[in-house]
Structure 1
Amino acid sequence: MSLDSAVPLPECPGVPGEASRVPVEPGRGPVVLERVRELAALLDEVPEVVHQLGEEQLEALTETLLGLSGRFAQLATVATVEAVDRGTVAGSTAANTTQWVCRHAEASGVPIEPVEAKSIAVVAEACRERKNAVIAAAVARGSCTVSTARAALTNADKVAPVIPSADRDEVLAWFLQLDPALGAKGVQALTRKILATYATEALSAQDAKLEQVETLTWGTTATGMTRLVAELAPANAAVLKAAITAGSAPRPASLTADPAAAAAAGTGTGESVRDERTPGKRRADALMELIAAGAKVAAGEVAPVGSAATILLTMDLSALTQGIGGATTPTGDVLDAGAARRAACDAELIPAVLGGPSQPLDVGRRERLVTKGLRAAVVIRDGGCTFPGCDRPPGFCEVHHVIPWWAGGETSLTNSAMLCCRHHQEVHRHGFMAQVRPDGVTWDLTPGRMPSHTHAAA
């Protein structure tokens, strides 16, 4: 039997863009296309007539336009799927599907952001595969935004191997059942919760990799301002957000000390005026205050005896004692059990530990915290990070419970050791133990020696 008879060769595809194209089928397609073009032309008139509408009509128009905005992206994805299937994209001069989408957006006169074009292209490519039929159907129906679809496709590959009993369709369905208002962030949060519950070690390893590639950059904008761009791992981001949030509350100013200002403001002495700063400005001021305080500590101008940032975490009792599961911040960030245990060492508030049907067992028991006096004593004894080979000064360190608080460890000088943030993470992640003496701390770098350290994430 010849090769040709065993495996028939495909017919020549012909010239790209001609014979390779699927014949047009009769139906309402051309009519719909013409109506859509008419709608696009009609939308251009909106800016000229919007002032002619009453309040209820204005609200109705805004609602309709917002609905069209998301729906157009979904339908553009559906059309792109068809274009890829037919070979229209391959037959064009575009280097890839994303470029094809961008070119047509530019041709429409309304360019879109590259990230949106990328999402449309990625989802369109994925929707061609049978395993993603659930997402394809949701996008076509309009029940799933393109960004959420992209997040679901990405995270399904992380979740599916963790729960072998659930097939891919079921995992995708979990994401699609989330409140649409949560968007891609909700998909990512659910993924982290699933990993924290069923793959603690994998989540801890993932966050460890993220910590290795954290970045902070800055550049000058056209207005002369400097823009900071930071990419932080979840645990470090939670600390930063908690610290900035604590210092960014509005601060009404009293006019008592300045009668002239009170008279100018039209208020009597003893009254206060509201904080006129925007939320963004308040956060920027809080960040600068933190940096200024840290700079004084680093320069030796101020004794580093203050406590760490206040972080409120909600977690199950098993997550704290056994390292199974994770913790959630008030902003919805999900931390692995190891990060939660680190926070339990030196954070201003103990995690809100839940038992049974979400019953709070212990919230904010401040007796177990490192007091200013004890912290000062630890600083005097240790002089900085005690991890072998580290020379970070006290201002960059936290007080670590050698025998963890949740494992019965006391808050005392003989159970405390200074560790910089990096080595504090490593100690909890690997379960290292130490021997505390009156003159210093000696570390045993044998993994798993820490009490209750049954998981790599502990």
Structure 2
Amino acid sequence: MSLDSAVPLPERPDVAAEAVRVPVEPGRAPVVLEQLQAVAALLDEVPEVVHQLGDGQVEALTQVLLRLHGRSAQVAAVVTADAVDRGTVAGSTAANTTQWVGRHAEASGVPIEPVEAKTIAVVAEACRERKNAVIAAAVARGSCTVSTAGAALVNADKVAPVIPAADRGEVLAWFLQLDPALGVKGVQALTRKILATYATEALSAQDAKLEQVETLTWGTTATGMTRLVAELAPANAAVLKAAITAGSAPRPATADTDGSGRAGSHDAGRTTGADEPRGKDAGGSVTVRDERTPGKRRADALMELITAGAKVAAGDVAPVGSAATILLTMDLSALTDGIGGATTPTADVLDAGAARRAACDADLIPVVLGGPSQPLDVGRRERLVTKGLRAAVVIRDGGCTFPGCDRPPGFCEVHHVTPWWSGGETSLTNSAMLCCRHHQEVHRRGFMAQVHPDGVTWDLTPGRMPSHTHAAA
């Protein structure tokens, strides 16, 4: 689910009944407490016995542990709210609710991060107020993470003045009806989208203030490394992320064999294992995978950008191309009238002014109209996707479309749903974005998909792809 599909905003759910607290059955609470304490004790045994489980049991155990992890934070907020109501927190020596939560976490033997303790405390305090009944009900039933609840509470205060006709409960309901996978980032992005739609000038003014207080600092860590810390306004952050992502994809290295089947990398920038060949070409060379971590690839991409920019600034080379390539989804009015906002593939929302500024010196691909210079359907004339077609697929799919995968567009390929070699066209309606792994899996198992205007639905029945034993499209 993309952020765009969350607008127009959904109807407010009926939460009147959900907001009522149902008393616990008399005598049941002590039993629940005792059983939970037994579960907590069992958790300490898991590391010693996990090797005794089969693959299916390990998966089941992982699901149970993750449920306990997420649900316990929600229930902790509910219990903390009750402790505040009955005066337990006020009667303790804790200075505030956050400190009360932190102390009990430390006493349990498993301390939590201060920011997590604060989030639980803030949500607990807020759930006691009638105006936040929607959040209280969602946290109690487990349909909303504590972090998302905290973000919704903060951002509701920003949205409410912009839409006077909507009360606070309705605004909170909008946030809670977002896809849970979007999390805090989705709440923040929807807030910016609402502000861009109903308060363009306010959002532009807010971002202008953010640009004035942007910072970049660095310091030396205990290991001798230098840590860079940057705080950037949304528009500048979008440019930086787009530029780094474009240069941080894995780069397999080519190496020659010495007759024994071993290979030595020709890439002086990194060392790759000699026993990691992925394929051999007719010239006797092999391809070895890029073993750099994602963080290392991003660091290398940043250094490449800085090195190239330094050469241009010093006059050693002439600038070539545009500043950056940015994909923005926007209404035509955002460019022509400066009304509304624009959304990047990573769900960053830019105000209309930022989008128009980007159009001056960036390689901007505004998804407004296809236009004669960016055809979205090239039929059988082209074997590979064009730049315009890939942009359309990125905007529609937002990353790998395989069920359960969250790989971003920079690590994905455009897959022909009906393979080229089976008569499939290179078109938007025959394209789906897949990461490298799932692209291989789709061809290996012969999966097929249905392409809709707003996304892709996969049929994971093996063998549905025409002539699926052929080479990948």
Q: Does the alignment reach a TM-score above 0.5?
A: yes
After TM superposition, list the pairs within 5 Å mapping 1:354-365 onto structure 2.
Answer: 354=369, 360=370
Note the alpha carbon deviations across 1:361-391, whole angstroms, 9 max, x for none: 57769xxxxxxxxxxxxxxxxxxxxxxxxxx
The answer to which of 268-277 and 80-89 deviates more is 268-277
Q: Aligned letter for 1:172?
A: L
- Please show how residues 447-458 of structure 1 align to structure 2 within 5 Å: none
SS of 1:123's equivalent in the other structure is helix
Tell whether the 8 Å contact from 1:349 to 1:364 is kept in structure 2 after alignment.
Answer: no
TM-score by length of 1: 0.69
Tell me which amino acid in the other structure corresponds to 1:253. A
Tell me which of 346, 357, 360 is aligned to 1:342: 357
**CA deviations over 1:242-288 (Å, ceiling 9, x no partner):** 11112222223333699999755575535443322222211111100
Q: Which moved more, 1:106-115 or 1:47-56?
A: 47-56
Question: 2:292 corresponds to which residue?
Answer: 277
Query: 2-side partners of 1:305 and 1:142: how far apart?
Result: 53
5 Å matches for 1:85-100? 85-100=85-100
Contact kept? 1:353, 1:362, Cα under 8 Å = no
Work out the CA distance in 1 between the residues paired with 2:144 and 2:131.
17
In structure 2, the CA distance between the partners of 1:28 and 1:363, relative to structure 1 (3 Å rule), is farther
Summarize the alignment of residues 196-215 of structure 1 with structure 2, pairs less than 5 Å apart: 196-215=196-215
The Cα of 1:25 is off from its aligned counterpart by 10
- Is the CA contact (8 Å cut-off) linking 2:263 and 2:286 kept in structure 1? no
Return closer, same or farther for 1:271/1:28 CA change in 2, 3 Å cut-off: closer
The size of the alignment, in residue pairs, is 337
Flag the 1:216–1:297 CA change in 2: closer, same or farther, 3 A.
same
Distance 1:82 1:363 in 2: 62
Rounded Cα–Cα distance in structure 2 between residues aligned with 1:342 and 1:254:
41
Alignment of 1:49-60 (within 5 A): 49-60=49-60
**Contact 1:148-1:184 within 8 A present in 2 as well:** yes
Shift of 1:26: 5.0
Letter in 2 for 1:53: L
Q: Secondary structure at the match of 1:153?
A: helix
Matches within 5 A, 1:84-123: 84-123=84-123
For the aligned residue pairs, the C-alpha RMSD in angstroms reads 2.4
* Of 303, 320, 324, the match for 2:339: 324
In structure 1, distance between residues paired with 2:91 and 2:374: 64
Give the 3 Å change call, closer, same or farther, for CA 164–72 of structure 1 in structure 2.
same
CA distance in 1, matches of 2:361, 2:153: 38
Alignment of 1:142-161 (within 5 A): 142-161=142-161
SS in 2 for 1:227: strand
Q: Distance in 2 between matches of 1:323 and 1:247?
A: 31
Instruction: Give the match for residue 184 of structure 2.
Output: 184
Shift of residue 142 of structure 1? 0.7
Gaps of 5+ in 1: 1-23, 355-359, 366-458
Unaligned runs of 5+ in 2: 1-23, 265-273, 376-473
Deviation for aligned residue 1:295: 1.9
2:168 aligns with 168
Distance 1:125 1:326 in 2: 34
Using the alignment, how far apart are the partners of 1:236 and 1:364 within structure 2?
26
Q: Work out the CA distance in 2 between the residues paired with 1:172 and 1:363.
A: 43
Could you report, residue by residue, the CA deviation over 1:436-458 in whole angstroms, capped at 9, with x for unpaired residues? xxxxxxxxxxxxxxxxxxxxxxx
- Whether the 8 Å contact between 1:262 and 1:269 is mirrored in structure 2 is no
Q: Are the counterparts in 2 of residues 220 and 226 from structure 1 also a CA contact under 8 Å?
A: yes
How far off its partner does 1:223 sit?
2.8
Contact in 1 for aligned 2:75/2:140 (Cα 8 Å):
yes
Aligned-pair CA distance for 1:221: 2.7
Could you state the TM-score of these two structures normalised by the residue count of structure 2?
Answer: 0.67
Measure how far apart 1:300 and its partner are: 3.0
Structure 2 contact 255–263 (Cα < 8 Å) conserved: no
AA at the equivalent of 1:123:
V
1:250 is aligned to 2:265: no
Of Structure 1 and Structure 2, the greater helix share is in 1
2:302 to 283, 287, 293: 287
Partner of 1:310: 325
Q: Which amino acid aligns with 2:33?
A: L
In structure 2, relative to structure 1, the CA distance for the partners of 1:192 and 1:270 (3 Å cut) is same
2:422 alignment counterpart: none
1:209 positional shift: 1.4
Partners of 2:257 and 2:286 within 8 A in 1: no
Q: Is the 8 A contact 2:329 2:367 kept in 1?
A: yes
Q: Which residue of 2 aligns with 1:301?
A: 316
Task: Select the residue among 348, 362, 384 that pairs with 1:333.
Answer: 348
For residue 276 of structure 1, give the secondary structure of its aligned residue in structure 2: coil
8 A contact 2:131–2:169 mirrored in 1: yes
Deviates more, 1:92-101 or 1:275-284: 275-284
- Deviation, 1:166, is 1.2
